[in-house]
Amino acid sequence: MPLAKMIVVFLAIHLAFPLVAARDALAQRIQWYVEVLNDPISGRPVLEARILTREGYRFKLMRKKDNSIWGQFSLPRSSQAMLTPDRLPTYRVDESDPIYLEELKELEVTSEPTLYRVAGRDVQFIIWGDAREGFIPPVLRQMMLGEFIHVTYYTLLGEKQSAKLTLNRANQAIAQFLRVRALNPERDSIEDQTVTFALVARRFMELCEDLRFSGSENDYTSCRNIFYTCSEAPEQTAESFKQCLGFDPEMLAERAPPSEDDADGGDRTPQTQ
């Protein structure tokens, strides 16, 4: 090989190496981290677990004063799209059951939403009602042991879009956020199904709908009244909600796999398990 060509090849290899190394270093920096904020009233430090992807998508976890845990999904700041409140996003961790934020609307008892908020490119939503110290809500457990969060969202223009967010170092960041020990992927397992307010509400309302067609109208009305009475109870948790209803969805037989419309958070026909 001529000397000039050898020099060109040598320079190409050694100039490309720093670019590859820089790209790998950038990928490693795309990871979950803990943000320390100050409470404006008490001045005490408040922790939030966050991720910012290379595309500009954001996801964060925060704890409210009532000890509830909320999530927030945000579109890139450079995006011209806005989220619609008419159809809330759906998210899932890896191949776990999807979580339909649209179902939070069934739990609302007033005209103004209290369990979610859509503002421009951001949507905030409740994850767990009362996270006592040392407790890891099931979906956060999935995040700590998972690899990706898949989000399906809808814009004001009616467009359906998707985002994929890494869970790189989410185990450590969420553990610090919850003030618990990080999970051991080799020893700890992901719980089978996330029991949330939305899941309990959906299963119970499906039973009410069955009464509407197979029972009397009075039975259906009574079922709905029980649901609304329990929903209005203050400081309600998923466990106390189930106790108030006298109903546990985990005791029912497993439902048939969801259709493609279900996977997208689309319209679903109520059915019992």
Instruction: Tell me the per-residue pLDDT of 204-219, one tens digit each, with 9 for 90 and over.
Output: 888 888 887 776 777 8
Which tokens hold the place of 263?
């996977």
* Topology (CATH level 3) of domain 31-178: Immunoglobulin-like (2.60.40)
Cα 83 to Cα 18, 52, 118, 152, 157, distances in angstroms: 39, 18, 7, 11, 9
Q: Residue 200: is its pLDDT beyond 90?
A: no
Alpha carbon dihedral 111, 114, 119, 125, in 10-degree steps, equals: -140
User: Which has more pLDDT, 142 or 27?
Assistant: 142
pTM beyond 0.75: no
- Domain range list for the chain: 31-178, 197-263
34-73 pLDDT, tens digit per residue, is: 998 877 666 677 889 999 999 999 999 999 888 889 999 9
- The per-residue pLDDT for 194 is 47
Residue linked to tokens 């020990």? 181
Percent of the chain with pLDDT over 70: 73
- The per-residue pLDDT for 7 is 52
